Structure formats: structure tokens, C-alpha cells
Structure 1
Amino acid sequence: MAESRVYGFAFLVTLMLGAVDCLGQFSDTVNYYINFASTGNINKTNDGTSYLLNNNLRYSISKKSISLNTTNSWMYGKQLGNLTNNDFFSGLDFNLYKTLYNFYYWGLGSYEKSVSLKINHRLQTGAGIGYNLVNRKNALVILSDGILYEKGDLYDGPETGNNEYEIFRNSFRLKFRFIIRGIVVIEGSDFLQHALSDRKDYIIKSNTSLSVKLKKWLSLTSAVVYNKLIATGRENLLVTYGITIERYF
């Protein structure tokens, strides 16, 4: 019952918030952006059924000099009756653009739990600097780097025992977005996060999507998500397809 309340609350937060960095330049007028993507796949045979659902909601509030963004995702899947994914992520970040040309400061906080990666919970907070390598209307490439504080609790194992820990990590990110003929959108965000105390302890996060616009606010979307966590020896690769609804206002 308690877990149901937690997921019910998480789902409500997801509906209310969600997020992504707003792209491009903004005037002094406040701009808002909302994006909801629902993708998944189902496979049914005589031997059983497997399915995976991936829902993402993103929301941004932006001005020329600052942006505030949230992102929330929930993946749920079963294979032959066994739970494979019940993975939730919620993050809040801000970007401050009052700095050198094409540079900006960023800060973030995030919470995550994952059945597939064996994470009971993981909290990350940090700050750093970013650089707009390419910043055009139809093309954006961003590099960023910073330091994160991480507090986590991984699934306990017979050899490792209690897996609660605290650590600092370097977080490097590559983010990109390309729009082709105003119809095809390719975008992604890739993270490499090494522990400062042990270079062999690292996290990889990668999320890339290809969308084809049917209308200004509606797209068909295919997404590839990859995660790897050295601490648990777990990784997942998800390929899904579905729809994306977005709006600027």
C-alpha cells in the first residue's frame, strides 16, 4: 500500500511537472514548453506475453538569461509474467546564461529508482558549466561538465551486504538536437559520470529519439535508451516507438 501511494504521488508529480532544456534563444518574454512522449512495445506468443511502456513528461519555463526545467520518466515492463522494469526518474535543473558568449552555468537535482538496474533509490545534486558548441535554429550541440554529489541505496547482495553509499562524481554530458526540413527531429542526451575516488566506478546514460512530425504538436517517435551501472553490474537497452505531443506557449 505504501509503495502504491509512492507511485501514485510520483505519477501525479509527473503529470504536473516533466521537463527538458528549452532550445535556442529567448526574448525577455517568459516562454513555456511542454512535451509528453509515450512509447512502448508488446510481444505476444503461445509461450507468453512481454511488454514495455515508457512515458516521459518534460516542462520548461525560460527567459533569455535563465531557464528552469523538469523531466520525469517511468518505464514499466514484464516478460513472461516476470517484472523486468519498474524504473522512475524525476529531475529539476536550471541554466543561467549571464556569462561568456555561448557559455552557461547549470545546477540540478534528481531522484531515481530502478528494478532493471537494481537501484532502491539514488539522489544526485550538482552544478557545473556548459558550452553551446552549435547553436542554430535547426541544429544544437551542447557540451557540459560538472561535479555531482550522489547518495544511493542499491539492492543488497550476499557478498556486498548493505549497499548504501555516498560519493562524488564528475558528470560529462553531450546534448544535441537536429531538425531536418522542419519535419524530422533527431535529439539525444548522453551522460558519462565517473566517481572521483575510483575511475572504474562509472554510470552511462543515453537517450536518443527520432520523431517525424504529423502536425505541429504531434509526432511519431522511436526512442533508444541505454543505461549502465558498474556498481551493480547491470545495464539495459530499450528500443520503443509511439507518439510525442508538444507545445510552446
Structure 2
Amino acid sequence: MAGDVLRVIQIVFVLATAFVPSIGFSQFNDTTHYYINYASTGSINKTNDGTSYLLNNNLRFSISKKTVAFNTTNSWIYGKQLGNLTNDDIYSGLDFNLYKTLQNFYYWGLANYEKSYSLKINHRLQTGAGLGYNVVNRENVLVILSDGILYEKGDLYDSPEEGNNQYEVFRNSFRLKFRMIIKKVIVIEGYDFLQHALSDRKDYIIKSNTSLSVKLRKWLSLTTAVTYNKLSQTRRENLLITYGITFERYF
């Protein structure tokens, strides 16, 4: 099992180092900005009683102009403990921001797909739109609040009590996003979501992801990440604390 873990880590590292240096060779016009970020974090614990490990991989890509920004986010969390699967969680999403409005305000729209072994989600699709506000927008500090309405269609793991768990619901989605850069070396960033069903306040989703990175190079950082998810429908939650490396490049 330890050999499998090492092979996975080696593959992730090779893929990451393969695409990062090539980014600098792309050429685009001065009015369009591109950003790519790949983070691979995890933890391994091996004792006489067995081995446990967790791998958390995230890939983000953004295209931005003065009046519009387009972002994609993809993540895969995989883990085992004493030979038993604990995490096989996949998330893929895209969103856009439109800045043709009042100063510091913008419109947003999104679509995302998720499946999660740890939260007992067979699949979940969300689409929606709303309004955001830049509370602080400086070179080294960014704080954003946003709110909107989501349509959600999901299929949770079947349970003896409730049987088939397919559903459709509208949710209010509130988000806090922040980023802080200290002396161009330390980066603290994260986002937090609270999504209540409009028809039932006891039906809610909580998502939180916070990371602290220390830059070794302009494009390479050591990263510690804390991720928390809670889904009231399945009464499941997870808390992940991982560490690893982040590659990023603006071009």
C-alpha cells in the first residue's frame, strides 16, 4: 500500500512539473490575463497497525479582462485508512464575473458538479447567479462578499430510513472570499460558503477552504490547507488538514 501511495505522489509531481515551466511560453495580448494554479497536498501515517493516507489535488485556471472574468476549479480528494476507503471526492466547477455595474459590485454566475464518498453524494449539480461586492480590493488584500440563488439537483446515497434520495431544491448561496499577501512571501487565502434551502432552513451546506502558502520561488510555494465540509441532508461532515506544494503562474 505504501508503494501505491508513493507511485501516486510521483505521478502527481511529474504532471505538475511538466506543465508549469511550459506556461511561460504562451503569448497573449496585453488586455487579457491568464492564471493557473495547481496544488498537491496530503498526509501519510504509517504504523505497525497499518497505513493511512490522504491526497488532495486542486487545479484552477482563470481568464480575466477589465469587464469580465472566467474561472474553472477542479479538485480530487482520495484517502484510505487501514485499507478502508475514507475519501473519493470529486468537484468540478466553472464561474464567471461581470463587472459592468456600480463600482465594487459585479454579477456572477456558476455551474458545478460534485460527487463525494465521504459526504455520501452520488452526484450533485448546481447552477445559479447573483451579485457580489468587493469590500476590500487592494494589491495585497482582497475581501469579497457575494449572495445569490442556486438551483440544485442531487442524488444522495440511499438509506434504509429514507430509501431513494433524489431531489431538487433552490438554495440561497452566501460566500466570503479573501486573499492576503504579506511581504510578497506569505499568502493566506480562502473561501467560505453557506447554502440554505429556501424551503427548509434545516437543509444546508457548509464549505470552507483556507490555505497558507510560503513562496520559495515566484511560481513555487509550500502550502498548508484546511478544508471543512458539512451536509445536513446526510448528516455527514469532513475536516481535512493537509500540507504540500503549490505551483502557480500569471501570464
TM-score, length-normalised on structure 1? 0.89
Distance in 1 separating the partners of 2:180 and 2:65: 22
Alignment correspondent of 1:210: 212
The 1:28–1:197 alpha-carbon spacing in structure 2 relative to 1, beyond 3 Å, is farther
- Trace 1:15-164 onto structure 2 (pairs within 5 A): 29-164=31-166
* Alignment root-mean-square deviation, CA: 1.3
1:182 and 2:190 aligned: no
Alpha-carbon separation, structure 2, partners of 1:64 and 1:40: 36
Partner amino acid, structure 2, of 1:66: V
One-letter code aligned to 1:97: Y
Equivalent residue for 1:194, pick from 193, 196, 200: 196
What per-residue deviation string (whole Å, max 9, x for no partner) do you get for residues 193-213 of structure 1?
A: 000000111000000000000
Residue 99 (structure 1) shift: 0.3
| Unaligned stretches of 5+ residues in structure 2 | 1-11, 17-28
Sequence identity of aligned pairs in percent? Answer: 81
| Aligned position for 2:239 | 237
In the TM superposition, residue 37 of structure 1 has moved relative to its aligned partner by 0.2
Check the 8 A contact 1:34/1:248 in 2, yes or no: yes
**What secondary structure does 1:53 align onto?**
strand
Once residues 162 and 180 of structure 1 are traced to their aligned partners in structure 2, the CA distance between those partners, rounded to angstroms, is 49
1:231 Cα deviation from its structure 2 partner:
0.0
Deviation, 1:28, is 6.9
The AA in structure 1 aligned to 2:46 is: K
Q: Check whether the contact 1:50–1:78 (CA below 8 A) recurs between aligned residues.
A: yes
Residues 28 and 63 in structure 1, CA contact (< 8 A), matched pair in contact too: no
Runs of 4+ in 1 over 2 A off after TM superposition: none
The alignment covers a number of residue pairs equal to 225
CA distance in 2, matches of 1:69, 1:185: 20
Unaligned runs of 5+ in 1: 1-10, 16-26
